[in-house]
Structure 1
């Protein structure tokens, strides 16, 4: 199998992230951490969340004598906020995708609406108001889509990214041809996008990070199999 160790150019990395983020939304190449609110009176959005939902820690390694990564789990928990939406918000679409040199797969795409603020469509496990500064009862309440400056929290069900498309799969992440004592690393881009719309206004914010998945074939005997978890828990 081909060597997966960081063999994509920087231009290829930006290209695959742009498949989801869109050039007009934000320049993704150096975006990390929290998406900042725009410093203007125009409608804007931001996204915050538990970094553990987007990252797998310090270069997780799967030790395997068959060079396989069986699964990559994601379970993001995020807060999306908006400002200067004079007529409130009608819908918030949340999308998460993962990409490598093999291509990009969409893992989640769900839309929350003012018409049904309690709804938890598809892979959304819960939706409510931000917890900071509010009582438990308030944070469990439906989000206030009518707010000019508002926010919501959304948690997603755990999903295996290798089951959601044809690009990021166990086969493309694995390196079956590793010799004894060799390692191979695949860098995954994880891109989260929130599209907020209401009253004819729209705002988009994108957050991105990378996860390095490393397979090691140690010298001597080893145990076959393994998985990498990317969890909010």
Structure 2
């Protein structure tokens, strides 16, 4: 195996996760993790749903004679909720980063605001209201306990930075009949602020991207779709 093969116990994997920890670091009143809102009277936030918000399928594989991965597409749908914001929410900043041993690239960073509640800035394809048990709730930034569901436009992660690229993911020297896998860490972060209160929530998952060079004849080229289910 070449350096493209990843091992969860390797020093390279530790380095990658250290970098991602820096991207996703939270502090102060922030909450890190997944699942339901914490039972607390302090302002809090959560990312709802399952990891399918960030990935689709198991171990996406490209079959390619030249060992190249041209694209890795992301199109996440996420739900962010908040509680105990007594004066409502002024802004919600959403960011998503993808990292491998070569480093970390930020794919999305967009801010939604109460002042422009109907806006869909940058890579935001749509935004709707969402509360617990009611996915069709109206979008209400003034709600003490509220939430929003955001769908991002499709983006090629290999075109958003210098770390996760076609070159770093590909294995052009892969012999016939062998395969190599790169594990991509995906980190989603939501920062919620309003009335002097702030809360942060971070969620992570991984996607394995595999290049397989079959023995004998095979088609060349390919793309990996990591579209939200």
**TM-score over 0.5 for the pair:** yes
Partner of 2:159: 163
Paired with 1:132 and 1:125, the residues of 2 have a C-alpha distance of: 22
Q: Report the 3-state secondary structure (helix = DSSP H, G, I; strand = E; otherwise coil) of the residue aligned with 2:227.
A: coil
Partner of 2:19: 16
> What are the residue-to-residue correspondences of 1:42-191 with 2, within 5 Å?
42-49=42-49, 51-130=51-130, 134=134, 139=137, 141=138, 143-191=139-187
Paired with 2:75 and 2:132, the residues of 1 have a C-alpha distance of: 21
TM-superposed deviation, 1:2:
4.3
Unaligned runs of 5+ in 1: none
For the pair 1:228 / 2:202, whether they are aligned, the reply is no
> In 2, are the aligned partners of 1:50 and 1:78 still within 8 Å (CA)?
no
TM-superposed deviation, 1:26:
5.7
Q: Report the 3-state secondary structure (helix = DSSP H, G, I; strand = E; otherwise coil) of the residue aligned with 1:219.
A: coil
How many residues of Structure 1 are paired with residues of Structure 2 in the alignment?
224
TM-superposed deviation, 1:39:
2.6
Structure-1-length-normalised TM-score: 0.89
Change (3 A) 1:193 1:71: same
> In 1, are the aligned partners of 2:131 and 2:148 still within 8 Å (CA)?
no
Paired with 2:132 and 2:86, the residues of 1 have a C-alpha distance of: 24
Paired with 2:134 and 2:80, the residues of 1 have a C-alpha distance of: 16
Paired with 1:112 and 1:59, the residues of 2 have a C-alpha distance of: 33
Paired with 1:79 and 1:185, the residues of 2 have a C-alpha distance of: 30
Q: Report the 3-state secondary structure (helix = DSSP H, G, I; strand = E; otherwise coil) of the residue aligned with 2:39.
A: coil
Partner of 1:200: 196
Paired with 1:185 and 1:147, the residues of 2 have a C-alpha distance of: 45
For the pair 1:216 / 2:219, whether they are aligned, the reply is no
